[in-house]
Structures are given as C-alpha cells and as structure tokens.
Amino acid sequence: MPDLNTFKLEGTKLVPVNRFNLEPAKPSTAFTAVTMNKANDFKVIEHPIIHSIDIKPILVFPFVENYFPLIEGDKAINENDYFKDYFKNEITLFFPQVEIMPNNGTVFYYENVPDKLGNKGGLLGKVTLKYSIKEKPLQNNQKSIVLNLKEAILNLKVNLDFVKINGTVNTATQEIQFDLIDEAVKIAFLNLVSNLNDLKCNIDLFFDFKGYSKIKRNFLFARDISLLKSQNITKKDLTITKTAMQPKAVLINSPLMVRADLQTKVAPKTVISGIQLENSIKSNVQEEYVKSTFLLKVNKTLSYPIGADPTISLYKTIGGGFVNIPFNLNEDFSQFKQIFVTGFNFSKLSIYKSMVQPNTFLVISKVYSLSKDLNTMKPCISTIFHAFEDGAGTAEEISKISFQFAIGPNLSEFDLAKLKIALLQNNFLDGDTTDYFDKVQFLFPNDIGAEYEVSGNYFLQQSDISTDGKHFLFDLSTENLSEASIMINALNNTISQYANINFQHKEIKDSSIIELNIEKTIGEIIEATIDNLTKKIQIENQSISNCKLNSALLVYNQNATYINSVFFKTYPQLISNDTKLLEFLSLNPNSSGELKNVFFDFENIENISSEFSQIVSQSTAYNRYVQVQIKAQNASVNKITIELTVQETGSKFIIERLKSEFSTPILFNFIIKNTFVNNTLISYKVNYFDKNDNLIGSSNEVFDFSKSSKITINKKS
C-alpha cells in the first residue's frame, strides 16, 4: 500500500500524495473474503479520497445538531463499539441496532422458466428482506451515530466455498432484494432452511458514516515547482475566462517536486523549514484531525426453517407457499460463462455471463489506461522526490523517488450503454426485459475478488498495487535514479509504457494490457443536463483539454434508444469549460416521450509537447531538463536513434524517432545526486538509418548542459 504519511503541497494545502479522487469503491470489492476462515478478518477503513478536504464548520439554519465520532487507533471496529463525540467530549456515541426480517411475509420466491420450445429451461428466483435501524436505549449524554446503507451482499455457502450475490437496496422502503438464477436458486433455498451452521447463508450490510480521525505526519516533504506561476487549476477554478486559462500547460506538473534554486544547493533541513514557515506548519505538531467517511460492516446470519403450513410459508412460487424441498443441489457449477456479442471484438473486451445472478455480466477491458481525477480532470499520477528523510542526512541527499498512479478499464459509459443494447439484441438477457437498462449490472475483475498479476514490465512489476473500485492504484519507490529518469522521460514525451495484467478467478483466466501514457487518459469529461420541458440538452466539457464529440446515444422511457453520429461530423471541438445546448430534434428528428439519459462517444484532445520550452526553463540543481531537436534530414534518412550518457552518474538513455516524428521535440530529463562533483557533460551518439533499417551514418558528440538546454541533431552529412 502507498505510504499514508507522504504529503505534498497543493497550492497552500498539504495533502497526501496517494489520494486520487476516483469513482467510489464498492464495499464488495474492498471486503471480499478469500476463504471461509478469513470471513471475520475485517477492519473498518477510511474512504480513500477524503483527506484533502479542509475542515471548516458550516452553520446551517435552522440549526441541526450533528454528532461525529472521534475514531482513534487502528483496531477493528464492530457495531458494539462506542466513541466520544469530536465536538463535545461529554457525549458518547453508539451504533444503532440493525435488524433483518422477511419482506412482506416472503423470504424466498422462485419460478421455473421455459425455453423457446416450451420445455423446462431453468430457474429464476429472489431473496427478499427488510431491514430496520433502531436506536438502543440511551441516556441523556449518549447519542446514536447516523448510518446509511450503501450495499448489501448475500453470502451463499456450498462445500466450504461461497457465492456472493450483490443486492438491490431501496433505502426509502428499507427493502433489499437479491436476484438469483439456476444453481444459485437451489443454493439459497438450502442455505435458508438448513439446520447446519456451516451451511447457513449470511448477509453483509455496509453502512457509511461520518467521523473524525487523526493523521500523523513524519515530515517527508517535497517542494512543488509548478510550470506556471499561477495556482493549480481545479474544477472550481474552471469558471474563469478562457483567455486566462492555459489548459495544455497545467497538464505538465514538474515530475520532481524540489526547491527551484539554481544558484545554491540548500540543505534539506532548511528546505523543510522554509516549507513549514510558508504554510504555517508547526514542526512540534505531529498530528491533525480530518473528517472522513467510514464503512461499518454488519453481518447477519439468515436462517428460516421451512414450516408445515403452506398458507403462512415464507417460501413461495407462482402458486403460493410450499413446504417441500423441490431441489437437488448440483455442487459442480460455473459462476461465469464466456459469451461473444456481435459488434464487440475480443480485442476490445471479454464478456462473461453470470450463471448465478440474472442480467449480471463480468466485463474485462483488454486495455487499462491512466485515469483522470474526478475533481481536477488531470491525470491521476504523482511523482514525489524525497530530498530528505529525518535523521538520515548525508552528502547525497536524494534518497528516493516515488511514483503513484491509478489505472482503470478503458470502457466509457457510452461503450457500456451500447453493450446493454447488444446484449438485448443477442438474447442474452433473462426474464422480463422491460427497463433492461436499469436491470443489467456490470462487474469488473475487482468486484469478484479476482487474483491479478502484472508482468512484462520490470519497472511496473516492482510496484505495490491496491484496488479502489474498478481501478488499480500503483505505488512504486526506487533509489535507482536512472530507472526513474526513464519513466519520467516516457511520461514527458507521451511514450507509452506497456505491461500485461493477468486475471484469474476459479475457471476464468484472462489478461489485459496496461498502457501508461499521460496523453491517453480515461474518464467521463462531458456533463449533460437534460431539460424535457424545453427539449434541450446542456453539455459541458469539464476537462482541461479540448474534446471532440463523435456520437450520442439517447435513452427514452421503455428503454427506446437512438444513436446519432452524423450530427457530430461537422460539430466543432468543445474547448475546456465550454458549454453548448443541443436540441432534441437535432439529435433525433422523430423523438417522442421523455428523455431519460444521454451518453456521448468522445475523444479527449490532449497535447503537452507544445509546452516544452516552459518546462526546460524549470531545471533545478537536482533535476535537469534538456530539449532534443532534430533538424530536417535528407530523404534517405528514415530513422534516427540517439544514445545519451550523463557522465556524472553514468546513466544511459536511448531515444528513437521515425521520420514522421523528426519535427516533434524530445524532452529529456535526468537526475543528478547532490554531490560536489561538477561534471556537466552529456556524451551522445547519433545513428542514422534508411527505410530498410540499414545504418547509413553516425556521429559522436559532447554537450555541456550548464551552458545550454537544447541539443540539436544536425542534418546527416
């Protein structure tokens, strides 16, 4: 896991560097047990995206008194624990009592489903429950913690293994429904009526609640040298005028966060003291409290023995209650079966249909890419340069460089909406297909607790990897400055870094490709607001890059759909923060009924190479940037390779450019340790190749980076 005590400066605010604001993680992802004996190994954790929020009391009128528990320590928390209130120490807070019962006199219902020939085709069923939250008897100085049910998971047991079923929660009526298919129907029934504790199923209820926790700092600080003198642009700042914005430039934050002082090498302790002074950080205060979102897991065993009177039975079919046992359990079943859907190639994604839960599909994207932050719309990547570690000052003060980034499946909401339509058209949906857009559920490998392994890239294989929803969070620290420079150069020059990520879950074995490229980020950047009264859709580009719209998919009542791509063939690009209005009739001339949703297929037009001149000017005593420019070449030159060696450190780098890329400058970055050696030379060899990859010329040169920041590759003589 990333180091929770590593911070950076975001403007004037100190925030943890490993916090990316991604889509909220599913509780079922975070707490999937691997084996039955580990089912109780659970700790309440903080939501991973909260800690950068400033805590400022907000007065609301009329005033409603809220209570927030002060959570200290790292012990496992259960529903019987109690806490002191953060604002009023004399108040003690308790969790309320949670109860589970059958819903409207029915806990289990099933039907036999015929196939196309009218023969018995399978089973469809459901488990229906109701929950209630009741306050415990409390004294005047005791209060209840407010809980909100986020997700429910039914754990079916079979042969010392388990099958997890995601439930549908209705917080308004406090009802929970678990939809089942085929073997899961049999397993659920036998679990519910069993007299054996090892075969009784149980339900996990995940409640979220607000509280305060303590953050400790160890003062591993890094100094931010931004390319722009202005503040970082956030989603809130996007209300400024477009002329004042420089959307391309803010994509490139200097990858190394050190003090920008080219004249003298400041002692690291002095650097830290300066940062503390600038931001009013007291070194003797080693902790602060932050407001966080916590998850509480409540587990309840479900056991309802079958009775003798059908009229009051909790087990029903279309003909009413039953008291017999109609199933024989088949323990040899597959949870997922691979399917192939017309229009979706295997190179795009793999699709597996659940054999235990209707209209549920596991999708494995064949490409995982760098994700965008939901707030800033900037790539979820941070590079932290540790110039000092407390008590470890030496002549060579640079000790470690850390990379943290988040990747996610390269499947947009538009792709998933089209997949729902294709599943309907290819007859892969179960039961009544009315409102199928709301019934279809997509799972990702993390949602089923699939094992994963990264291979094919030595650098990425060394990372510590954790999961957050459908995203993977990579954390890599290295003391090898040459390796770090290679990664930084790849990011600066938008050169893709590739790796394989292999998934395994019971009978499923599949793989995807990781493509790490700062100009190929994923994330929904178009915000659409539908107004059915005026028959208009307002769209806004929330990204800091331009956006090109390709298609729109409209979803109406009764799930009528319409796709329009012709309209956008001549539609102009949306610049950052641009807002436009689209007429219903422009997208669908035959539109009728209420528009429920709209999905856009778009391209994010990112370009960071034009900002090289700015980033070169930000070289520091530790971190150097050099721009490599290739002059126009003879027609016979089809490829050029450049082999650079930093003489002070011995670090070697090889850069390759094809003819079509000669005009694009290369941003070359390297790191120098904090020593008294003043060797400022780079030796480089240039090789020229023809279209058949024959070597047709070479030259050896030496460059002094203290005198210039630009290496020019001359025309082949």
Identify residue 31 by its one-letter amino acid code: F
Domains and CATH numbers, the chain: 68-217+288-332 (no CATH), 337-516 (no CATH), 526-609 (no CATH), 621-713 (2.60.40)
pLDDT value of residue 277: 56
pLDDT tens digits along 409-466:
999 999 999 999 999 999 999 888 888 888 899 999 988 889 999 999 888 888 889 8
Q: What is the mean pLDDT of the chain?
A: 78
What is the rounded end-to-end Cα distance, in angstroms, of the chain?
Answer: 53
- pLDDT for 7 equals 53
CB neighbours of residue 469 within 10 Å: 18
- DSSP secondary structure letter of residue 436: H
Q: Do strands 508-516 and 367-370 pair parallel, antiparallel, or not at all (unpaired)?
A: parallel
Q: Is 695 within 8 Å of 687 (Cβ atoms)?
A: yes
Which distant-in-sequence residues (6+ apart) come within 8 Å of 644 by Cβ? 652, 653, 654, 655, 668, 682, 683, 684
Phi, psi of 704 (to 5 degrees): -105, 105
Pairing status of strand 400-409 against strand 471-478: antiparallel
Q: Tell me whether strands 336-339 and 142-144 are parallel, antiparallel or unpaired.
A: unpaired
DSSP-assigned letter for residue 710:
E
Instruction: Classify residue 136 by its DSSP letter.
Output: P
Q: What does DSSP assign to residue 92? A: E
pLDDT in the model for residue 259: 33
Given this model, what pLDDT does residue 499 score? 94
pLDDT score at 383: 75
Among residues 675, 595, 690, 590, the alpha carbon closest in space to that of 638 is found at 690
Point out the residues of the chain with pLDDT beneath 50: 1-6, 12-13, 28-63, 216-269, 271-272, 275, 279, 281, 283-286, 388-397
Beta-bridge partner residues of 367: 513
Look at residue 197 in the predicted model and tell me its pLDDT: 87
Structure tokens that stand for 342 in this block: 């017309």
Q: Ramachandran region of residue 593, left (φ > 0), alpha (ψ -120 to 50) or beta?
A: left
Measured in residues, the chain has a length of 717
Phi/psi at 275 (5° precision)? -65, -45
- Looking at residue 86, its amino acid is Y
pTM: 0.72
Q: In the prediction, which pLDDT does 475 show?
A: 87
Instruction: Please calculate the CA angle 686-689-690 and round it to the nearest 5 degrees.
Output: 155
Please give the backbone phi and psi of residue 391, each rounded to the nearest 5 degrees, phi first.
Answer: 80, 10
Q: Which residues of 323-350 are buried (b: 16+ CB within 10 A; e: fewer)?
A: eeeeeeeeeeeebbeeeebeebeeebbb
Q: Rounded distance, CA 321 to CA 159, Å?
A: 28
